[in-house]
């Protein structure tokens, strides 16, 4: 069987000509759908990758911040976008970032992937609640950074959905 450049096909009549014609017809008919399917799979894989990277960097940054605050002995920490106050805030940052790293690691291994989606959802909810619904006052130039953080968390949420619904590779 040979496929011409104009999209039609030639079939050798030797060894099963009718079956070969049917296969060639199927390939030509569904070639577009296969390409579109592959493009969608690539986009899903990129969204999963971005989601892993976003949450790993977020958790590492929060872990670094909490360790620096613990080592420096800072008792008074004000992060007005978060609902916790000074002593509780340090522990929430430390243990929350550690839990986030464990969840990212488990999602990468393919176990308990629904936790990764729930973690991503919690991050989006905290960003929306803390920055947009709490009356938080932005300093000049901060609003664009927060908007980028929010868009990144939404993209990561979509990617985490694809992590959760991905079939296990056997």
Instruction: Tell me the pLDDT tens digit for each residue of 4-35.
Output: 555 444 544 444 566 667 766 666 666 666 67
CA 107, CA 128: separation in Å to the nearest integer? 24
Which pLDDT score, from 0 to 100, does residue 125 have?
Answer: 95
What is the per-residue pLDDT across 59-78, written as a single tens digit (0 to 9) for each? 999 999 999 988 988 777 78
Cβ partners under 8 Å of residue 13, min gap 6: none
What is the per-residue pLDDT across 109-119, written as a single tens digit (0 to 9) for each? 988 899 999 99
Instruction: Tell me how far CA of residue 53 lies from CA of 45, 57, 59, 67, 118, in angstroms.
Output: 12, 6, 10, 21, 16
CA 65, CA 63: separation in Å to the nearest integer? 5
When pLDDT is cut at 50, 70 and 90, the band that residue 58 belongs to is very high
Which pLDDT score, from 0 to 100, does residue 2 have?
Answer: 52
Which pLDDT score, from 0 to 100, does residue 16 have?
Answer: 56
- 37 φ, ψ to 5°? -60, -45
Which pLDDT score, from 0 to 100, does residue 15 have?
Answer: 47
Q: For the whole model, what pTM was predicted?
A: 0.76
- 5 φ, ψ to 5°? -70, -20
When pLDDT is cut at 50, 70 and 90, the band that residue 157 belongs to is very high
Cβ partners under 8 Å of residue 169, min gap 6: 110
Instruction: Tell me how far CA of residue 169 lies from CA of 44, 110, 111, 163, in angstroms.
Output: 15, 9, 12, 12
More confident residue, 40 or 34: 40
């Amino acid at each position: 069987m040979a496929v011409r450049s104009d999209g039609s096909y030639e079939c050798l009549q030797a060894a099963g000509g009718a079956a070969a014609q049917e296969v060639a017809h199927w390939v030509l008919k569904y070639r577009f759908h296969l390409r579109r399917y592959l493009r969608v799979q690539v986009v899903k894989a990129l969204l999963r990758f971005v989601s892993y990277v976003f949450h790993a960097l977020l958790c590492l940054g929060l872990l670094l911040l909490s360790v620096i605050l613990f080592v420096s002995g800072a008792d008074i920490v004000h992060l007005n976008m978060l609902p916790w106050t000074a002593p509780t805030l340090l522990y929430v940052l430390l243990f929350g970032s550690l839990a986030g790293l464990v969840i990212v690691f488990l999602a990468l291994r393919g176990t308990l992937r629904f936790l990764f989606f729930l973690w991503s959802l919690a991050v989006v909810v905290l960003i929306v609640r803390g920055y947009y619904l709490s009356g938080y006052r932005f300093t000049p130039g901060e609003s664009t950074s927060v908007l980028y953080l929010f868009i990144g968390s939404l993209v990561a949420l979509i990617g985490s959905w694809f992590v959760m619904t991905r079939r296990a590779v056997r």
